[in-house]
Amino acid sequence: MIDIRDFRRYAHEFADWMADYLEHIEQYPVKSQVQPHEIFDKLPDHPPEGGETMDVIMKDFQDIILPGVTHWQSPSFFAYFPANSSYPSVLAEMLTATLGAQCMVWETSPAAAELEEKMMNWLKEMTGLPAAWDGVIQDTASTATLCAILTARERFSDFKINEEGFGDFIGLRVYCSTETHSSIEKDVKIAGLGRRNLVKVRVDDLYRLDPAALEEAIMKDRAAGLKPLCVIATIGTTGSTAIDPIRDIGRLCHKHHLWLHIDAALAGTALILPEYRWMSDGIELADSFVFNPHKWMFTNFDSSAYFVKDRESLIRTFEILPEYLKSRSRGLVNDYRDWGVALGRRFRALKLWFVIRNFGVNGIQDKIRCHLSLAKNLESKILNEKDFELMVPVLLNTVCFRFKPADCHDDDDRLNALNEELLNRLNRTGQMYLSHTKLKGKYTIRMVTSQTSVEQRHVNQAWELIKTTARSL
C-alpha cells in the first residue's frame, strides 16, 4: 500500500486528471458504448495476492473502467433527470472522503450534525418551505418517501405496528397518480402495506393528479372498510414534470385525515425561483416533502433533502437506543440516525455548504433559469417543425416530443417503433444521451436540458442531429 508521500503525489496527479476529465468531457461518448459483460470479462477473476502499484491501477481505471462509464457530467447528457455535480461539490466530496467520518450521531462528528441542521434551514428558506418544519439529509428520494410512508403508518396505528406487527391494520391505502415515480410502489411494498393497496388515481390532460378522482377513490375505499392512510403528490413527475395541485390535494387530506407527502425530487430545486413558487401553493397542508439537490442543484449524488412537519413522529418511528449508542448529548442535539433507516451516515452536508456558498443563491437561480430557457427555446424549435410533435407543453426543464412524419401520422404502433429506433440511433452516436417514456401509450423522447454545464450550443447541436437522424430513418 502506498505511504503518505505517495498519497500526496498521487492526490496531485489525480486532481490534474479530474480537471482534465471535466475540461475535456465532451470528447467522451456520452453514453457508454460497451456491450453487456464486456467490462466484467476484462477484469481478473481473482483478487491480487500482493498489492499492485497505483500506476497500474490507474491505467486499468482509464483503459477498462472509463469506457464503461456513462458521462453524466457531459453537457450533452439529456437523459432521465440529471445527477448534477459542480466544482465546489467535487472539492467538498474530496474533503469528505479524506475525513472519512461516519456521522451516525452528534458525538461522532458534531460539525456534521450541526452543519446538516443549518443546511436544511438554508434549503427551507431557499425553497420557501414552512419555517417550522425540520429537515434531514437522506440518501435518495426513494428512502425519504419510505420514511414518510412508515411515519404515516406508525402515526395512524398509534405506533402499534412497530410494536406488535400489523394485527388488524390491514388494508392501509396509499394514493398517488398514474404518473407517480416507481419508487412509491417499491416503498409501499417495503413498508409492508402490500402493492395492491397502492391506488393509482387518474390524471388530467396535463398529467396532473385529478383531485375529484382522488376523493372518489378515498370514499370508495372507506365504504369498503379499507383504511385510507396517505397521499403522495408529485411536483414534477418523471415523465413530463407535471405538477399535482397541492392545495386541492392538501384540503382533501385534511378533510379525510390522510398524511400528505410531496415528492419534488427534481422540481423542488425550481422552487428556489420566486416565479416557480406557485408549484408549491398549499405546501403548508402537507406533512412531508422531499427534493434532491443531487438532481438539479449541482450537488453530487447522494443528497436528498427530506422535510417534515412533525419531527417527533419521524423520530419515534425510527428511534432505537442500544446501550452502545447512548450519549450525554442526547436530547440536546439532533442525532440523525433516528431520522431514517440507516444507522451509519456520510458527511453529506459539506458538499451542500460548498455549493450554496460558492454559487450563492443568485448563482443557483441564474443557472436554473438558464436551463429553463433552454427547454423553452427547444420547445419553440419543435413547434416549428411539421414532422415533429410536442407531446406536452414545456413547464420546466423537460421537453417531451416524438418524430411524426406525414406517412405514418395516425399509426401509433409504427410511430412507437420509429421513435424507439431514433432514440437508439442517437444514443449510439455518443454525441448525446436521451431517454424516453410513454405518455398516453405513445413512445415519447425526453430531453432534459439541465446538466450543470449545458449551453445553448449543446442543445442546438443535439437538435440538428435529432432532425437529420430522424429524417434519414
Q: Catalog residues that contact ligand PLP under the rule CB under 6 A.
A: 81, 140-142, 181, 183, 234, 237-238, 263, 265-266, 292, 304
Q: State the Cα–Cα distance between residues 114 and 309, nearest whole angstrom.
A: 19
Q: Return the number of the residue (92 or 265) whose C-beta is nearest ligand PLP.
A: 265
Give the strand pairing for 172-177 and 198-201: parallel
Q: Return the number of the residue (76 or 240) whose C-beta is nearest ligand PLP.
A: 240
CB of 137 to ligand PLP, least distance (A): 12
Q: State the Cα–Cα distance between residues 148 and 165, nearest whole angstrom.
A: 18
Rg, the chain, Cα only: 24
CB of 19 to ligand PLP, least distance (A): 28
| Cα-Cα-Cα-Cα dihedral sign, residues 101, 148, 251, 157 | negative
Surface-to-core class of residue 432, CB atoms within 10 Å of its CB (0-12 exposed, 13-18 middle, 19+ buried): buried
Q: State the Cα–Cα distance between residues 365 and 277, nearest whole angstrom.
A: 13
Give the strand pairing for 134-138 and 304-308: antiparallel
Q: Return the number of the residue (234 or 427) whose C-beta is nearest ligand PLP.
A: 234
CB of 404 to ligand PLP, least distance (A): 26
Q: Return the number of the residue (116 or 244) whose C-beta is nearest ligand PLP.
A: 244
Q: Return the number of the residue (197 or 238) whose C-beta is nearest ligand PLP.
A: 238
Q: Return the number of the residue (426 or 448) whose C-beta is nearest ligand PLP.
A: 448
**Are 440 and 428 contacting, i.e. CB atoms less than 8 angstroms apart?**
no
Cell of 166: 400489523
Furthest CA-CA distance within the chain? 75
Q: State the Cα–Cα distance between residues 140 and 136, nearest whole angstrom.
A: 11
Cell 397542508 appears where? 285
The enclosing H or E element of 314 equals helix 311-318
Angle between helices 141-156 and 311-318 (to 10 degrees): 90
The torsion angles phi and psi of 62, rounded to 5 degrees, stand at: -75, -40
Q: Return the number of the residue (371 or 381) whose C-beta is nearest ligand PLP.
A: 371
Q: Return the number of the residue (112 or 141) whose C-beta is nearest ligand PLP.
A: 141
Q: State the Cα–Cα distance between residues 289 and 282, nearest whole angstrom.
A: 12
Q: State the Cα–Cα distance between residues 280 and 129, nearest whole angstrom.
A: 9
CB of 142 to ligand PLP, least distance (A): 3
**Are 301 and 152 contacting, i.e. CB atoms less than 8 angstroms apart?**
no
**Are 404 and 387 contacting, i.e. CB atoms less than 8 angstroms apart?**
yes
CB of 446 to ligand PLP, least distance (A): 11
CB of 166 to ligand PLP, least distance (A): 26
CB of 181 to ligand PLP, least distance (A): 4
CB of 140 to ligand PLP, least distance (A): 3
Q: Return the number of the residue (173 or 446) whose C-beta is nearest ligand PLP.
A: 446
Dihedral of CA atoms 176, 180, 186, 190 in degrees, nearest 10, equals -30
CB of 81 to ligand PLP, least distance (A): 5
CB of 292 to ligand PLP, least distance (A): 5
Q: Return the number of the residue (28 or 293) whose C-beta is nearest ligand PLP.
A: 293
